[in-house]
């Protein structure tokens, strides 16, 4: 359809209201001539009007423009509506007599030479766009930053949680220093670059280069051969594996002690309840970091009429509402959970008003 009829789109279609019954959020329009419904799209609406027989009967000038563009709406090879007009027929269809006031010249390819029409310039073959002989230099890719922290490392270094029920803003907590902030990858990466606890374990090249060099003292082996401390770097790196999650409800006894009223635990090694326990937080009032210790009695769910009791203790530090502790176990009864005694355990926790949550990891 010619661009000069594009303003008729708004007159030829009406928008349908979007309701729950339609099952879609897309805006739909309906042709006022043939009542066909389609999604609102300017190009497809133009294509529809170029093929709508009722519209073309009401607007013969649009049918002639479609013939000039080479469209064949009805598939009979003579244009969209079968129209093939000479000069007089063309002007008669427009109702303008022998000439038009719009300065419109009919297409010679469709309607032939009309009386009084000045032939236009002959159309030659389309010119091909010449390719530039100058080759554009390829953009050099920037070398990767050695101090950049991988995305997987960032996700592993933070724990995501919601401080308030129904809060749409996600909050993350650094597993190394306990700092809380809104979830944002760039800011989390910046935090890890400045986090002393993270850099102590995973130093970036810039931090490692800035660290003072410690001279290695010679070591004398039993056979009398001197060696250096560099051999200690070949020791295996400890691996941390998540084992279970512990959540307890507490009641404040005094300024130091809190008693566990109830709780539960579950994870890779099993699940159960917390029968009893207590916390004690000591240190100067208002101090940024204080000492925390506690004791619990974990009991497993009844399995084949067997229930295991697992005493455990914690000891570590608390900074604000976040704590990092080491956890030790005493021999369980019965001994089916004796594997807890074969490796050290660490845990990170968060302390709320009447609730404490710990994630416990096995170090191997």
In a domain, 125, yes or no: no
In a domain, 159, yes or no: yes
In a domain, 311, yes or no: yes
Q: Are 358 and 244 contained in the same domain? A: yes
Tell me which of 204, 231, 249 is where a domain ends: 204
For residue 328, CA distances in Å to 32, 227, 323, 334 come to 79, 37, 16, 17
| Long-range CB contacts (within 8 A, 24+) of 37-45 | 40/13, 40/15, 42/6, 42/9, 45/9, 45/12, 45/13
Q: Are 276 and 332 contained in the same domain? A: yes
361 and 342 in contact (C-beta within 8 Å)? Answer: no
187 and 174 in contact (C-beta within 8 Å)? Answer: no
pLDDT in 10s for each residue of the chain, 364 residues: 454 455 677 888 888 887 766 666 788 889 988 989 888 888 988 888 888 988 888 888 776 666 665 555 444 544 444 444 444 544 444 444 444 444 445 555 545 554 555 555 555 566 666 666 666 666 666 666 667 888 888 988 898 877 777 777 888 888 888 788 889 999 999 999 888 888 887 877 766 666 555 554 555 555 555 555 444 455 678 889 899 999 999 998 888 898 998 999 999 888 999 988 999 989 887 788 899 999 999 998 876 567 889 999 999 999 988 999 999 999 988 888 888 898 899 999 998 888 999 999 999 8
Residues 42, 32, 91: CA angle, nearest 5 degrees: 80
Q: Are 277 and 327 contained in the same domain? A: yes
User: Given this model, what pLDDT does residue 283 score?
Assistant: 86
User: Given this model, what pLDDT does residue 21 score?
Assistant: 67
Q: What is the CATH number of the domain that holds 322?
A: 2.40.160.20
- Stated as kind and residue range, the H or E segment containing 58 is helix 53-58
User: Given this model, what pLDDT does residue 220 score?
Assistant: 52
When divided into structural domains, the chain yields a total of: 3
Q: Are 90 and 170 contained in the same domain? A: no
User: Given this model, what pLDDT does residue 347 score?
Assistant: 95
263 and 248 in contact (C-beta within 8 Å)? Answer: yes
For residue 303, CA distances in Å to 267, 299, 307 come to 16, 11, 7
Q: Are 269 and 179 contained in the same domain? A: no
Q: Are 186 and 244 contained in the same domain? A: no
Q: Are 286 and 335 contained in the same domain? A: yes
The answer for residues whose C-beta is within 8 angstroms of residue 349's C-beta and 6 or more apart is 322, 323, 324, 325, 356, 357, 358, 359
Query: Could you tell me how far CA 35 lies from the centroid of its own chain?
Result: 42
Q: Are 255 and 359 contained in the same domain? A: yes
User: Given this model, what pLDDT does residue 356 score?
Assistant: 92
% helix, strand, coil for the chain, step of 5: 25, 30, 45
User: Given this model, what pLDDT does residue 17 score?
Assistant: 81
In a domain, 212, yes or no: no
Tell me which of 104, 138, 157 is where a domain ends: 104
User: Given this model, what pLDDT does residue 103 score?
Assistant: 45
The answer for residues whose C-beta is within 8 angstroms of residue 226's C-beta and 6 or more apart is 218, 219, 220
In a domain, 338, yes or no: yes
195 and 202 in contact (C-beta within 8 Å)? Answer: no
Q: Are 262 and 197 contained in the same domain? A: no
In a domain, 89, yes or no: yes
Q: Are 94 and 165 contained in the same domain? A: no
User: Given this model, what pLDDT does residue 86 score?
Assistant: 47
Task: Give the domain range for residue 262.
Answer: 240-363
User: Given this model, what pLDDT does residue 95 score?
Assistant: 47
What is the DSSP secondary structure assignment for residue 95, as one 8-state letter? T
In a domain, 65, yes or no: yes
pTM for the structure as a whole = 0.39
In a domain, 81, yes or no: yes
Q: Are 248 and 318 contained in the same domain? A: yes
Q: Are 247 and 358 contained in the same domain? A: yes
Q: Please report, in angstroms and rounded to a whole number, the separation of the first and last CA atoms in the chain.
A: 74
User: Given this model, what pLDDT does residue 132 score?
Assistant: 60
């Amino acid at each position: 359809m010619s661009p000069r009829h594009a303003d008729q789109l708004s007159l030829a279609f009406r928008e349908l209201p979007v309701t729950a019954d339609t099952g879609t959020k897309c805006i739909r329009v309906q042709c006022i001539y043939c009542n066909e419904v389609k999604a609102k799209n300017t190009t497809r609406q133009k294509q529809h009007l170029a093929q709508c027989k009722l519209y073309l009967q009401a607007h013969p000038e649009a049918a002639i423009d479609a013939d000039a563009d080479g469209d064949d709406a009805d598939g009979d090879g003579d244009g969209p509506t079968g129209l093939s007009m000479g000069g007089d027929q063309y002007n008669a269809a427009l109702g303008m007599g022998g000439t038009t006031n719009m300065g419109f010249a009919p297409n010679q390819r469709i309607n032939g030479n009309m009386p009084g029409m000045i032939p236009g310039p002959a159309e030659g073959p389309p010119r091909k766009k010449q390719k530039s002989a100058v080759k554009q230099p390829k953009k050099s890719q920037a070398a990767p930053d050695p101090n950049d922290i991988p995305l997987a490392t960032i996700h592993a270094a933070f724990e995501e949680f919601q401080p308030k029920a129904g809060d749409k803003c996600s909050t993350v907590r650094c597993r190394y220093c306990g700092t809380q902030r809104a979830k944002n990858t760039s800011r989390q990466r910046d935090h890890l670059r400045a986090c002393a606890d993270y850099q102590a374990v995973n130093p970036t090249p810039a931090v490692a280069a800035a660290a003072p060099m410690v001279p290695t003292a010679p070591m004398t082996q039993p056979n009398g051969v001197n060696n250096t401390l560099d051999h200690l770097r070949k020791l295996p790196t400890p691996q941390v594996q998540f084992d279970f999650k512990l959540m307890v409800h507490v009641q404040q006894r005094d300024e130091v002690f809190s008693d566990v009223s109830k709780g539960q635990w579950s994870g890779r090694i099993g699940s159960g309840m917390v029968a009893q326990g207590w916390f004690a937080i000591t240190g100067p009032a208002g101090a940024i970091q204080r000492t925390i210790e506690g004791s619990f009695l974990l009991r497993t769910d009844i399995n084949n009429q067997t229930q295991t009791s697992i005493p455990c203790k914690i000891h570590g530090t608390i900074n604000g509402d976040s704590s990092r502790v080491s956890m030790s176990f005493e021999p369980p009864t019965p001994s089916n959970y004796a594997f807890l005694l074969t490796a050290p355990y660490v845990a990170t926790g968060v302390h709320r008003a009447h609730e404490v949550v710990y994630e416990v990891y096995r170090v191997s």
